[in-house]
Structure 1
Amino acid sequence: MNDKSDFQFIEQLSENIEISLPDGRFITGKRGATLEEFLSPLDGWEGSQIVGAVVDGILKELTAPLSKACGVQPVNMSTSDGSKIYRRSLTFLLETAFDDLFPEYFLAIDHSVPSGGYFCSILGRQPLSKEEIRKLELRMKKLVEEDLIITKERVTLEEARAYFEEKGYADKLRLLKYRKKPYLVLYQLENHKDYHHGYMVPSTRYLNVFKLHPRGEGFILQYPRRATPNQLFPMPRYSKLLEIFKQYGSWLKSLDIDSVGALNNAIEHKSIREVILVSEALQEQQISQIASRIARKNGQIRVVQISGPTSSGKTTFSKRLAVQLITYGIVPFALEMDDYFVDREKTPKDENGNYDFESFKALDADLMEFHIQEMMKGKEVTLPHYNFKTGLREVGKTVRLNENQIVVIEGIHGLNPNLFQQIPRKNTFRIYTSCLTQLNLDYYNRISTTDTRMLRRIVRDAQTRGYSPQRTIDLWDSVRRGERDNIFPYQENADEIFNSALVYELSALKPYVEPLLRQIPFGTYEYLEAKRLLAFLDWFLPIDSNMIPDNSILREFIGNSFFTDFHLWNENRSD
């Protein structure tokens, strides 16, 4: 036991404090120094640049001062929070450089592209020429070389409104109309100020990995991916995906909703019901057009393959597509890809020794292709049924297709080119579905399509699978890795891309997901994500879910979907 004299009062705090790192090391430094200064002895963290830190369970910017001993988890660019900090700061850098060169025009960050970048467009003039884009990139690099400080200040809403009104930022003025907090944080780079939803790096020298690519009627700001935070790779064209985003943008214009502020206006002025109806009608029109394209093949299409990332609404989409196909006299037969899993003991394992159920080799693709070929010939086929409890494939139903029937198969590998190599390409039709939202907070603060899907999944997992929101968030990175490896590389193989995003959906999800996010305990990584998502949702006014049609894709996540018990009857089926 320590002697009582070992402890005594002091007149003032010691000059230095210590911070502890996750690897067991300690750093000592002057009390009141910033995180950036404390972490300066580190040459990055786990192979990547440090752009923030978690201090005693709370995410902080590198400019945050430390006044007491604490535990510090460096946040680098290969983490979810770190990548967001970098991309947000890079957007601010682009915005500043654009304002320097083209002060009379407005830049808009329209949407993301899968290979790591933002598609940007110019408002009020023709697209930038290749030479102008080159000058913009050079201006950004010059700002990086100068290592300019990025500062921030908290201002009253009145001060923020006055500044945005002077700059002509109508989108931000609409957004601030519904802000509940009496203040706003503005970041500043040189003479340029703006609001950005989230933290920034301390200075421009951190932003040294990027490139601008002319593309279509705009350009792409390319940033490094989390898996490769220190380098860029050649940018694919993604022509089909960009066209879908362009179509969605035209839908937003027809609805007169170009930002969250405009959506909130519709809710406040009681016109949201019309927005919902038109949004649903536009989506149904797209499904009808896909069914029409299949029907125009005059019976040539025998297999429809559907794929897309998690929480894209694939189940409801496939059933609504089935209804549309029936109107053309085509009866779909749903084949379950999961029934073709190999026995569990034959399932490949990942680098951690766990079963990799998302690997293409986890499927008996040869047997599935053989069965489809036999069904296309009108032969009777006994299908397998996978027992997830035993991990074994069992004998399933025996079926024979009619002449007017086609096989519809939906799953993670639906667009994989290794699937159905013996079936003629002219007999297949491939559909990629995803939630490709283009509604943003304002011109510079975009809404992540990934965040929208995660919110959908949190609500659905809680309602139908009994998963806690903490578990859903915990599994999210693993889910994303599976999408990156097995889905995104093949999306351009699709004959059609279906966008399941609904302009009003975050306002509809808000009353469901906010109570779930508040259940996540402090001190966990999932708490940091929940805090970020709650701050993001705070910009949205809620809407009553009773206004949402029972055949809406959104019903797949919030419940009471008409399609929950919807099945197509196959007269030639024998059990």
Structure 2
Amino acid sequence: MLQICCKNNNIIKSFPIGSSLLDIYNGFNLDIPYGPVSAKVNNKVEGLNYRAYNNKDVEFLNILSSSGMRTYVRSLCFVLCKAVEDLYPDGSIVLEHPVSKGYYCDLHIGREIGLDDVQRIKKRMQEIIEEDIPFHRFECQTTEVVELFRKKGMMDKVKLLETSGNLYSFYYTLGDTIDYYYGSLLPSTGYIRLFDIVKYYDGLLLRVPNRQNPDKLEEVVKQEKMLDVFKEHRRWNQILGIGTVGDFNVVCNNGHATDLINVSEALQEKKISNIADEIYNRGKNGRGVKLILISGPSSSGKTTFSKRLSIQLMANGLRPYPISLDDYFVNREDTPKDESGNYDYESLYALDLKFFNQQLEALLRGEQVELPRFNFSTGQREFKGDYLKIDDNMILILEGIHALNPELTPHIPAENKYKIYVSALTTILLDNHNYIPTTDNRLLRRIVRDYKYRGYSAEDTISRWPSVRAGEDKWIFPYQENADAMFNSALLFELAVLKDYLEPILRKVPNNRPEYSEAYRLRKFLEYFVSVQDKELPPTSLLREFLGGSSFNY
């Protein structure tokens, strides 16, 4: 017998050696709503078929947790892939990226997709779920797994596993369908309660349950501009011949990492130059952009982007002048409070909107104003004789999380504003059935920056991340489609460069801390990438904002 300490109810019970997590869950007579879907075993997430052979701490997870939702979505993706394989043996499907509160999928069946195809796929998925087919996990030598995928023609997985450097690898089966998934799956298809699949532009949208209320599907949010950005970068990746991490690793192992860095940086610079040209040309057409508003979530690289955009604007004969939203905070005692009674500095209403708009309108009328400076030590606004008057060639740049919120600048004429949304939209896939979450990309950037420049451990950053994400969901993401331009700050090579910085930082998270499971997941994920040294990165690279060595001052 072995001892299991259940963290859900803090009870310790004995179980036979080799008991599965599902046996243990039933043995504790737990009834977790919307679960269980997976569990933390000694702070590492495992599937419910995992068997315990030693004493363990176990915490069962449901779909309301980020980790549990990932398990649910992964399993649903496998059901979709099996349905496509069953219906279109010569077809293929690529699970590309999250968009519109779902997952965009590119289906290739040798002709245009019709509504009847979508209905057939959904019907077959429902049949697979109703059959309650178990997901089986098998582990064997990597060479065997690679050969298995090679015979199936799944070269994306062959390249990934061949370049990962692991002696042993695993694969999953669902009936007679085999696949590879990064992370745990549900015990069987019957655990999937809610889903939908709909036609979405030239592909499919896989819809999933709402995180807060899993009895409902997430609402489809219109994100045409976001989808266009993803597609543009996928086209660039195809030109480079790199769609997956396996492709990337092969190219780097063949000595072409420097070429990838140079091309990726050039593509970003070209995009920034095009945005600057559009802003300049709007002025020539008599519309007169006088205010550039730049928004984006945490660690999206807004600051470096605004500095590089300023250079391109100067090359067009314009004089950019940065305005900091932080200087327009209300005095601290007037700051709104959150539900916990703490000052909510991320709220739009932490800003003095009336005073801010008065100053902007005066500047746009050609008047001189005295700019404020916010003293963060005293929590009070101060004036120190900083006067500003804008002339014909001057253009104001305002960067902040609320920049695209219509409530920020309601009285500024639309023709005087140019709105830009910046985010790290990861376009490389792990393989054709495993996308890389853009939130992981930003979290990894932030862990490095917080550790190097702000004195925070990975544990600190990971623990704060859910509240950061909640603020983004409330104040940033609802307004991203208001942008005139979207800029993808993710670089094709960046996770391979971040890897060597991150691994020692992530290893410092003690395994008795709740944040360990996330640190461990991120560490295992980075193992898929070959390392690329940062010495080839130019000093203007957006990644320098997080790694150091930038020619810009922050």
TM-score bracket for the superposition, by shorter chain length: over 0.9
Is residue 2:60 matched to residue 1:71? no
Q: Which position in structure 2 is the counterpart of 1:145?
A: 130
Residue 69 of structure 1 deviates from its aligned partner by 5.3
2:504 corresponds to? 515
Return 28-37 or 492-501, whichever deviates more: 28-37
Change (3 A) 1:228 1:282: same
Query: How far, CA to CA, are the matches of 2:78 and 2:405 in structure 1?
Result: 37
1:366: which partner in 2? 354
Pick the aligned partner of 1:109 from 84, 90, 95. 95
Pairing 1:503–2:492 present: yes
Aligned to 1:385: 373
Determine the C-alpha separation between the residues in 1 that align with 2:5 and 2:551. 55
**Aligned counterparts of 1:208 and 1:66: Cα–Cα separation in 2:** 27
SS state of the match for residue 366, structure 1? helix
Query: How far did residue 80 of structure 1 move?
Result: 1.7
Shift of 1:227: 2.4
- Name the counterpart of 1:199: 184
Task: Give the structure 2 partner of residue 410 of structure 1.
Answer: 399
2:464 to 475, 491, 505: 475
CA distance in 2, matches of 1:157, 1:127: 37
Change (3 A) 1:362 1:72: same
Residues 44 and 93 (structure 1 numbering): CA distance in 2 closer, same or farther, change over 3 Å? farther
8 Å contact from structure 2 (residues 101, 221) kept in 1:
no
SS of alignment partner, residue 50 of structure 1: coil
* Partner AA of 1:394 in structure 2: E
Name the residue aligned to 2:474: 485
| 2:455 is the alignment partner of 1:466 | yes
Deviation at 1:237, TM superposition (A): 2.4
Larger Rg: 1
* Corresponding residue for residue 568 of structure 1: none
Output the CA distance in 1 between the equivalents of 2:117 and 2:152.
23
Partner of 1:10: none
Aligned equivalent of 2:314: 326
Percent identity reads: 39
Q: Which residue of 2 aligns with 1:342?
A: 330
Residue 267 of structure 2 corresponds to residue 282 of structure 1 = yes
Distance in 2 (alpha carbons) for counterparts of 1:295 and 1:302 = 10
Q: 1:394, 1:71 → 2: CA distance?
A: 54
Q: Describe the SS at the equivalent of 2:453.
A: helix
Worse-superposed segment, 470-479 or 221-230? 221-230
Q: Please, which runs of 5 or more residues in structure 1 have no aligned partner?
A: 1-12, 566-575
Aligned counterparts, 1:551-562, within 5 A:
551-562=540-551
4+ long deviations beyond 6 Å: none
SS in 2 for 1:242: helix
- SS of corresponding position for 1:335: strand
Query: Which whole-Å deviations, capped at 9, do the CAs of 1:9-36 have from their partners, x for residues lacking one?
Result: xxxx5xx866434334566655543222
Aligned to 2:9, the other structure's residue is in SS state coil
Count of matched residue pairs: 549
CA distance in structure 1 between the aligned counterparts of 2:31 and 2:215, rounded to whole angstroms: 11
CA shift, 1:246, in A, is: 0.6
The aligned counterpart of 1:569 is none
Partner of 2:146: 161
Distance in 2 of aligned mates of 1:535 and 1:127 = 38
**1:209 is aligned to 2:194:** yes
Alignment-mate amino acid for residue 71 of structure 2: I
Match of 1:314 among 279, 291, 302: 302
Report the alpha carbon displacement of residue 553 of structure 1 after superposing the two structures with TM.
0.6
2:61 partner letter? V
TM-score by length of 1: 0.92
CA distance in 2, matches of 1:410, 1:349: 23
Match of 2:282 in 1: 297
Structure-2 separation of matches of 1:310 and 1:235: 24
Q: Where does the alignment leave 5 or more consecutive residues of structure 2 unmatched?
A: none
Whether the 8 Å contact between 2:509 and 2:519 is mirrored in structure 1 is yes
Paired letter, 1:487: I
- Between the aligned partners of 1:545 and 1:459, the Cα distance in structure 2 is 14
Q: How does 1:30-45 map to 2 (within 5 A)?
A: 32-40=18-26, 44-45=31-32
TM-score normalised according to structure 2 size: 0.95
Deviation track 1:306-334 (CA, whole Å, cap 9, x = no partner) reads: 10001111001001111111122111111
Q: Are 2:68 and 1:82 aligned? A: yes
Q: 2:80 matched to which residue of 1?
A: 94
CA contact 1:32–1:66 (8 Å) conserved in 2: yes
1:191 is displaced (CA, Å) by 0.5
- Which residue of structure 2 lines up, in the alignment, with residue 533 of structure 1? 522
2:503 and 2:109 map into 1 onto residues whose CA distance is: 38
Query: 1:125-181: per-residue Cα shift (whole Å, max 9, x none)?
Result: 334211101111111111111111111110212211221111111111111221222
Contact 2:195 2:206 in 1 (8 A): yes
Residues 1:431 and 2:420 aligned together: yes
Residue range with higher mean Cα deviation, 446-455 or 383-392: 383-392
Superposed CA RMSD in Å reads 1.7
